[in-house]
Amino acid sequence: MNKIFSFVLLLFFLLLTDSLLSQPKLNVQASLNNTLRYGSGLENRSGQEFSKEYFEDLADTRIKVNDFVLGFRYEISDPIEYGLNFKGIRKRYLEYSNLTEGISVRAGDFWDIVGRGLTLNLFENRPLVYDTGIDGVRVSLKRSFGEKNPIKIKAQIIAGNIDYNHFLNFQRKEKYKLRDGNFEISPLKFLTLGTNYIYSTGEILSNDLTTTTDIEAYLPEGYINFIFSEFQFFASYAHKHVNTKPSFLYPVPLNAKGDGFYASVSYSKPKIGVTLDYKNYRFDITTPDNQATDRPTKMLPFQNPPTALKEHVSTLISRNPHVVDFNDEVGGQLDILYSPNDKLSFNINLAIASKHYEYVDSDTTSKIIYTRVDRKTDFIPSLDDSFSPFWEVYVESEYYVTDNFYFRIGVSKQSSVLYNQLVPSASEKIFYTTIPTEFRYSITKDYTLKLNAEHQWGHNSIRHTDKNFMSDYFALTLSRSPNLSVTGNIEFTTDEEDPSGKKFWALGEVAYKITPKHTLTVSYGSERGGLKCTSGICRYVNPFNGFRLTVSSIF
């Protein structure tokens, strides 16, 4: 990589010289976004409370000189809330972008996505401790040919390294050297054809931090985007081929192949919008006894396809998300939005997902050997328990009663099964029915009152005590435009087996915009915690009781 960086720096120097000669007048702009976070209190882990304190400060600086941008992040996370402590410059980059010429060159740290992410989707989500950013070089070129009906092309190459710390086990690191080539062409205004190819070598550390397995991966992808009148169609197919080298855990080299397909059809008119998503992810279908998170043939972290599920804003619904298995899942969603007038709208969302196959024990001795039961309709999800199915029905309505009063009400029904292959009768079956509501009333021009009230009925088949339980959540916010909001929320449950061992939580929060560029947020109380997901990445957040402070500044 040192040779690549040396070449890129030389290229930047030549471009900078040319830019300064052609644009003798300097246009200099600078910006700084700073976020300071502090927290102190008690964190609940496995039913026991431990003292917890964190201090984090992230300063993202950006300096633009003509066509050049220099950026870096200085970070102090000592101690960090989640993850590994760090002090110093975490991210830095230098970028040249000339819109007239259609050229962009970037060296350093960056994130990117190709198509919908089946082969490449690099992103960061700090609350989930998830970061697949690459340290390397990206060169992009955009061109148009013709005037009346121009043909547009885009070409991009990426080369760099990814040091990925697993978001569930911070000590476990995976390292990748990645080379990516992407090409898109639009021969017609409404049609785009694209292809992407990734070659990567990797080092995957085992969960017990003792063994590293080396891999080689090849990922070709092709996709199409078609837009005509009110219709839009997108489809993408990706293939994954992984070869492993012998290691202590995998002494016999593996030659694993998988693939994934995603398609989306949308129809939109002024009063109605309909979207149908379909996913068929088979990146690493394997037997139930071979599904460890550190297996080298799994979907690689720089991939992250669409979940084809609705992401909820409801607090109680989002506590029980479906965790997408990108290695083995088929399903989709239908989303309908209808607005008969400017004041009223309806949203209906139907989602379903399952594994592709069921497995049986084909050995007649005490040894267990799983054999896959093939089915011709494996491209369609199944609701049979042995496929660990999930489904959800969600209906919501929004209505602006007057200019001052607005309300939203919804109903969600969710069902999921975590199939127990050894003891099917012990499979975990979970059902939730949730009613989220929101009421907002403008008292005066400056003051607004908002109430969120949610009620949930739950059932979990493997509870030792009462398998049926209820939860309630209430949040009341009084805001004064444009600089102050005060929120109080309470939550309680009848669940005797909540991981925190508690049944009641209360939290107060004040957000004050000191100036248009500085915002202070302070909260104190207890937080229930639970599973949190973004783009299919899910992590359990421990319950917390204490004080939090956040200061956000823009310069």
* Cis peptide bond upstream of 251, omega within 30: no
What tens digit of pLDDT does each residue of 143-177 get? 998 888 899 999 999 999 999 998 888 889 999 99
With a CB cutoff of 8 Å and minimum separation 6, the contacts of 490 are 473, 474, 504, 505, 506, 507
Q: What is the domain extent for residue 121?
A: 111-285
- Identify the residue whose tokens are 């059932």: 459
Under the phi-then-psi rule, with left for phi > 0, alpha for psi from -120 to 50, and beta for the rest, what region is 331?
left
Q: Assess if residue 64 is contained within a domain.
A: no
- Taking the C-alpha atoms of residue 539 and residue 527, their distance in angstroms, rounded to an integer, is 16
Angle in degrees, CA 16, 21, 24, rounded to 5: 105
Q: Could you tell me if residue 255 is inside a domain?
A: yes
Sites in the chain below the pLDDT cut of 50: none
The answer to the question of residue 524 being in a domain is no
How many domains is the chain built from?
A: 1
- Annotate 233-270 with three-state secondary structure: EEEEEEEEEEEECCCCCCCCCCEEEEEEEEEEEEEEEC
| Preceding omega of 220 cis (within 30 degrees of 0) | no
Cα angle, residue 375 at apex, residues 373 and 379 outer, rounded to 5°: 125
| Side chain identity, residue 318 | S
What per-residue confidence (pLDDT) applies to 367?
A: 85
Q: Where are the beta strands (DSSP E) in 66-188?
A: 68-77, 86-98, 103-110, 124-125, 130-131, 134-145, 151-165, 173-188
Q: What is the pLDDT of residue 366?
A: 79
Coil vs helix vs strand at 209: coil
| Percentage of residues of the chain with pLDDT beyond 70 | 96
Output DSSP code: residue 36: E
Going through 272-404 in order, the beta strands assigned E by DSSP cover 272-282, 329-338, 344-354, 358-361, 370-373, 390-400
Residue 398 domain flag = no
Can you give the pLDDT at residue 253? 93
> H/E element holding 59?
strand 48-65
- For residue 10, what pLDDT is reported? 56
Angle at 493 between CA 490 and CA 497, to 5 degrees: 135
C-alpha to C-alpha distance for 226 and 114, rounded to whole angstroms:
16
